[in-house]
Amino acid sequence: MSRENAGDLTFSEQYNGPDPLLDAARTHSHEFGLVPVSQTTASTLTLLARLLTPVAAVEVGTGVGTSTLALLRGMPTAGILTSIDTNSTAQGAARDLVEMAGIRPGRLRLMNGRAEEVLKKLAPSAYDMVFIDSEPSTLERMIQPSLRLLDTHGLLVIHQTLLKGSVADPVDRSPRTQAARGLLNRIAEREDLQRVLLPIGEGLLLLQKSP
């Protein structure tokens, strides 16, 4: 990453913050050995949810709740977020975070288990938005199950698609980077999807079914 780009990222993080609750959650994430979404990513998720106004949304990768809270803040007050993770202890911290934010507990439905299995159990075409925050090596097998959940105008948002400049660096041939590159290349070949790749945080890929 160039010095100029690094400066832009630092300035953006400062400009889009601070957020005491999310800042505390990020510190808590590191105690669990988890990497939370950046402040700019969280702000973007809130804005996307506010624009899309999802009544029902799904999140893959609860963590301790940084993206969970960001999504709920943007969703309508009647909107319900279903959040999936294998770490039930971290999910408990996420529930506490949402309660501290003054959000009605009934708006968050936590489901513990492997995302690939849980996604298949959710109702098809019943959700307005799906957010996936998972390692690049597991992302691809979640795309079709996630698209199945979305209604006609639903939005799929995928995190960790640029890996802070690693994907754009031709010298980086690590398995993690190769997995992210392969995903992006295969998505680019699909005519059934509209796509926008945003250089925000670890990279956000926005997908919507073609009309």
Its pTM stands at: 0.95
* CA proximity to 110, closest of 130, 86, 138, 129: 86
pLDDT digits (tens, 9 = 90+) for 23-51: 999 999 999 999 999 999 999 999 999 99
Quick one: pLDDT at residue 80? Answer: 98
Buried b / exposed e over 38-65, threshold 16 CB at 10 Å, is: bbbbbbbbbebbeebebebbbbbbbbbb
pLDDT, one tens digit per residue, over 77-130 is 999 999 999 999 999 999 999 999 999 999 999 999 999 999 999 999 999 999
Question: In this structure, what DSSP letter does residue 102 have?
Answer: T
Considering only residues 148 and 18, tell me which one the structure prediction assigns the higher pLDDT. 148
pLDDT of residue 27: 93
Q: Cα–Cα distance between 70 and 186 in angstroms, integer?
A: 29
185 exposed, middle or buried (CB, 10 Å; 0-12, 13-18, 19+)? exposed
**CA 43 to mean position of chain CA atoms:** 12
pLDDT band at 179 (very low <50, low <70, confident <90, very high): very high
> CA–CA separation, 94 vs 96, rounded Å?
5
H runs (alpha helix) in the chain: 3-15, 20-31, 39-52, 66-74, 88-100, 115-121, 136-149, 175-188
No. of helices (H) and no. of strands (E), the chain: 8, 7
DSSP-based three-state secondary structure for 10: helix
pLDDT of 3 above 70: no
